């Protein structure tokens, strides 16, 4: 039994197809099939039911795959231990970032990080929270940046910063003359939301629930970007809420429509998340330090009320 064979098993289990698994592991399909067959012969069991379409794991195969994940992770840790001992910070590092964080945070830290750690080869993906968690669980990402808490058993969370919500209120809106707004001022009926699947949207809905507003039978417009929400707001379709870092790049005319909350300001918690196996922890630590240092100078808010991104958590 070899680590390579176990990696081939994991690839077939994930893709449910020998050809796709071979492509992902950069070997020919006959080579992959032969190695898996050798492993099955050695163990005297069938790991895969090849009569099913797509290919499925047998009952014993499911148990073998779970153990194979542990073994492959532990094997990867050996190189990780060596790198840490040598003080080496480098190699490929796959990072996922949620869409409501990536456009503002990435430009703030990327150049800083790559200049400081030139041997790290970053691969960055924009992913919604559910996809990010799934890819972390499957080992396709080393870490992610997301709104927390996520309450995932196999994922660690390290808080990077707390980002306040800011109201974007056009001149004709009922709250336009209010210098500082409160949670109690919010009405879900005239708040423009991001489309379903964005955790920032869930946070806003939870915020409105805490204000005891009516969530039923409301006029509703949803969009995939803050820029669209701002334009719709300026057309008189309602107000919207923005994460604080997103407001820094607005023009002066648009900044005039920003209304901050009274303290404690509602805010989201943004964290660096990664598997509890802590593979590549030296790179994770380095990234945490760089991002924390950059954001600390951008967000001066201290008194905040954390709004959960979990839809059902109040």
15 pLDDT more than 80: yes
Q: Which tokens belong to 194?
A: 């991001």
- Asked if residue 14 lies in contact with residue 140, where contact means CB atoms within 8 angstroms, the answer is no
Contacts of 219 (CB under 8 A, 6+ apart): 189, 190
**pLDDT of residue 219 exceeding 60:** no
pLDDT at 155 over 50: yes
Tell me the average pLDDT across 133-162: 92
What is the pLDDT, as a whole number, of residue 196? Answer: 55
Percentage of the chain lying above the pLDDT 90 cut = 53
Quick check: 122 and 95 in contact, CB under 8 A?
A: yes
The reported pLDDT for the residue numbered 229 is 86
- Which CATH code is given to the segment(s) 163-266? 3.40.190.10
Q: Are strands 191-194 and 222-223 parallel, antiparallel or unpaired?
A: parallel
| Residue 90 φ then ψ, to 5° | -170, -175
pLDDT at 86: 81
SS3 (DSSP) at 100: coil
CB 266 within 8 A of CB 76: no
Burial category of 216 from C-beta neighbours within 10 Å (exposed 0-12, middle 13-18, buried 19 and up): exposed
Q: How far apart are CA 133 and CA 99, in angstroms?
A: 14
Q: Could you please state the CATH topology (level 3) that the domain comprising 89-160+269-306 is classified under.
A: D-Maltodextrin-Binding Protein; domain 2 (3.40.190)
Q: If pLDDT is split at 50, 70 and 90, which confidence band does 312 have?
A: very low
For range 6-10, the mean pLDDT: 94
The pLDDT score that the predictor gives to residue 185 is 86
Q: Give the dihedral of Cα atoms 171, 177, 181, 185; nearest 10 deg.
A: -80
Q: Where are the domains of the chain?
A: 3-84, 89-160+269-306, 163-266
State how far the Cα of 115 lies from the Cα of 51, in Å rounded to an integer: 52
**pLDDT tens for residues 243-281?**
999 999 899 999 999 999 998 888 899 999 999 988 899
- Asked if 3-84 and 163-266 have one fold, the answer is no
- Confidence (pLDDT) at 247: 93
| Rg of the chain over all Cα atoms, to the nearest angstrom | 24
Q: Is the pLDDT of residue 205 over 70?
A: no
- Collapsing DSSP states into helix, strand and coil, what is residue 177? coil
CATH code of 3-84, in short, is: 1.10.10.10
Region 147-158 average pLDDT: 92
pLDDT recorded at residue 214: 47
Note the pLDDT of residue 265.
87
18-25 and 3-15 helices, crossing angle to 10°: 130
Higher pLDDT, 223 or 160: 160
């Amino acid at each position: 039994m070899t680590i390579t064979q176990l990696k081939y098993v994991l690839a077939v289990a994930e893709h449910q197809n020998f050809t796709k698994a071979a492509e992902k592991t950069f070997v020919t399909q006959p080579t992959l099939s032969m190695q898996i067959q050798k492993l099955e012969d050695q163990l005297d069991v069938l790991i895969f039911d090849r009569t099913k379409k797509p290919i499925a794991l047998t009952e014993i195969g499911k148990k073998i795959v779970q153990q194979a994940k542990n073994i492959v992770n532990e094997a990867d840790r050996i190189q990780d231990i060596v790198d840490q001992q040598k003080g080496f910070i480098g190699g490929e590092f796959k990072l996922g970032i949620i869409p409501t964080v990536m456009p503002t945070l990435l430009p703030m830290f990327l150049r800083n990080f790559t200049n400081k750690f030139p041997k790290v080869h970053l691969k960055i993906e924009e992913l919604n929270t559910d996809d990010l968690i799934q890819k972390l669980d499957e080992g396709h990402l080393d870490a992610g940046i997301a709104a927390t808490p996520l309450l995932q058993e196999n994922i660690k969370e390290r808080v990077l910063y707390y980002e306040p919500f800011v109201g974007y209120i056009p001149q004709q809106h009922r709250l336009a003359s209010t210098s500082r707004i409160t949670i109690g001022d919010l009405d879900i009926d005239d708040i423009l939301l991001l489309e379903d699947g964005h955790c920032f949207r869930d946070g806003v809905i939870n915020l409105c629930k805490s204000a005891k507003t009516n969530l039923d039978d409301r006029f509703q417009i949803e969009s995939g970007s803050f820029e669209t929400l701002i334009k719709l707001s300026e057309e008189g379709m309602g107000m919207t809420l923005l994460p604080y870092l997103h407001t820094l790049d607005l023009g002066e005319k648009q900044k005039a429509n920003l209304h901050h909350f009274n303290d404690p300001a509602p805010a989201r918690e943004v964290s660096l998340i990664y598997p509890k196996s802590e593979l590549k922890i030296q790179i994770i630590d380095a990234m945490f330090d760089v991002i924390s240092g950059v954001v600390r100078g951008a967000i001066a808010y201290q008194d905040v009320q954390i709004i959960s991104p979990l839809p059902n958590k109040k």
